[in-house]
Amino acid sequence: MEFEYVVVDAFTNERYRGNPAAVVFEANALDGPQMLAIAREFNLSETTYIFPSDSPDAAVRFRWFTPGTEVKMCGHATLAGVHALVERGRFATLKTDPQSLLPIQTASGTLTARMEKLPGDADRYLVWLDLPTPRLEPVHLNADKLAHLLGTTLEALDLSLPMMKTHDGDVILFVNDLLTLQSLEPDFVGLKRFSDRQQVRGFSVATLDTLAASIHVQSRFFAPAAGVDEDPVTGSVHGPLATYLVVNDLVPFLSHTAAVSCVQAEAGGRAGLVRALVTRHPGAGYAVRIAGQCMTTMRGKLTV
């Protein structure tokens, strides 16, 4: 059997930047072990498999695999999947009608995507994704041990901003400055063991010390427990991260909505820009939407 695929760089307007995801079309004939084997072959942080929806509330269904496991949520690979479908000529009204929505059936529930035309080039679009309602709760980890596993010191952590755990099992923590963030060299074997013991998927290590005033936060993301030592740009964690900043009054509201600009970058490697909108609903919590540009870099067929 042959299956068409593309590789898409998400959260970037330049090829070979941002975070690459493979997208496999019409994956109905693939079973779980085959999808995992293909994801290992691509060896990217995520591979999206596209299926017809079996839900009346969705137009299409996505499943996501890292090289190590299936995951319930992935932001950048969802943006990549939407971009790939529209390039393929499906759901074309997303590009022409700002009110057009694409409901996506996933293991995290139905996600909604839309597109926004950017000024200038006719093919410049943002893909917007409504994320599940973020849930943050305090998490009490051995900060000294965690600092050591991340390749830094306890003094380098900004413990004035408490560690929080997201609904996806990720831990958000802050360091004092950008130099510390860029110099992290984690012990991935030890960090995986620590993650498994603490039931943590990954660690979003962030700083408010950024290179530009227009950028609110810069981060790196480590998830060896999920088979991804370092993810270049992690969409799913940026909903909770943006909400964290808003809840702690680090980003201002304008008419109940805060616009947050986030950069995630590997030290000396790939980087991407994540836009987030956090809307406050009095008495009902927060709603989060993230966006990024996407660029296709490869097309081909795989054989199973």
Active-site residue list: 46
CA gyration radius, the chain: 19
Q: How far is CA 88 from CA 85, 167, 296, in A?
A: 5, 33, 11
Calculate the CA dihedral of residues 185, 189, 193, 198 and round it to 10 degrees: 20
H or E segment to which residue 82 belongs: helix 75-87
H or E segment to which residue 125 belongs: strand 125-130
Q: How far is CA 4 from CA 33, 52, 299, 300, in A?
A: 18, 15, 8, 6
Query: Bridge partners of 157?
Result: 175
Query: Bridge partners of 295?
Result: 9
